[in-house]
Chains A and B, each alone.
Chain A
C-alpha cells in the first residue's frame, strides 16, 4: 500500500497563478484533511472532508477551495496564489472509529513557494 500520496512535492508559483494539489489515499478512509505549516509553526487545518462529496472549512480556509469527488482523492486549489500562501501543505486521512483507533496517516508534504 502506498498510504497517502501527495503531488507535486515542490512547486513555485508567481503571484496570481492558480494550481491544484492532489492527495490520494488507498486505505478506503472516510475522512481527509488538508493542513498547512509555516516555518516554526504548528499545523493549521485548512479544509477537511468527512466523506465523498462533502467538504468543510477548517481554521484557515480563506484563499483555498477543495473538492472530494472520489473517496480516495482530496484536491486543494489555489485560485489566485499570494505570497502569504507560501507554506508546506500536508494531507492526511483517517477512518472514523469514534476515537477508539482513529489514527491519522499523513502524506510527505508539498513545499509551495509563491513569489
Chain B
C-alpha cells in the first residue's frame, strides 16, 4: 500500500478555503485516495475519496494530480467546526490493514 505524507499542521482563517496537501508518490493504479477527519477525541469521519478524477461532495473537494502522486483536500469556506486532524490514506483491492499515519492538524481561527 502506498505511504502517504502530510504536513503536521496548518492554519486557516475562518471563511477562507483550506487546502490540505497529501503526497502519495508510490501510489499504484488501483489505489484510491481517501480522506478522513477527526474532531477532538471523536471517532474519525469519512470525508471524500477518489481514484484519478477530481471529486466534490457536500463537505469538500478532492483534487488529484494527473500523475496521481499527490492530492489536495479543499474545504471551500472553512469554519471553526472544521478544526480537526485530517488523514489521507490509500486503499486498493488488496488492502486489508488500514494504516492512518499522523495526519494534518488544521486549526481554523476567527
**A residues whose Cβ falls under 8 Å from a Cβ of B:** 4, 31, 33, 35, 41-45, 48, 50, 56, 58-59, 88, 90, 92, 94, 96, 98-109
Beta-carbon nearest neighbor of B91 in chain A: A99
Q: Are the CB atoms of B92 and A99 closer together than 8 Å?
A: yes
The 5 closest A-B pairs by CB, nearest first: A106-B43, A98-B93, A42-B102, A99-B32, A43-B100
Beyond known contacts A33-B98, A59-B99: 18 more, CB 8 A cutoff: A42-B87, A42-B103, A43-B87, A43-B100, A44-B100, A48-B96, A48-B97, A56-B97, A90-B43, A92-B43, A92-B44, A99-B30, A99-B31, A99-B91, A99-B95, A106-B43, A108-B43, A109-B43
**Could you say which of A88, A102, A108, A109 has the most chain B C-beta atoms within 10 Å of its C-beta?**
A102
With A98-B93, A99-B32 as known contacts, state yes or no: A104 contacts B99, CB within 8 Å: no
With A102-B91, A104-B36 as known contacts, state yes or no: A42 contacts B97, CB within 8 Å: no
Q: In the complex the two chains form, what is the Cα distance from A48 to B102 in whole Å?
A: 19
Report chain B residues within 8 Å CB of A50: 96
Beta-carbon nearest neighbor of B99 in chain A: A45
With A42-B102, A90-B43, A90-B44 as known contacts, state yes or no: A102 contacts B32, CB within 8 Å: yes
**B residues whose Cβ falls under 8 Å from a Cβ of A:** 30-32, 34, 36, 38, 41-46, 49, 51, 85, 87, 91-93, 95-103
Q: What is the distance, in angstroms, from A66's C-beta to the closest C-beta of chain B?
A: 13
Which of B30, B42, B44 is within 8 Å of A104, CB to CB?
B44
Report chain A residues within 8 Å CB of B92: 98-99
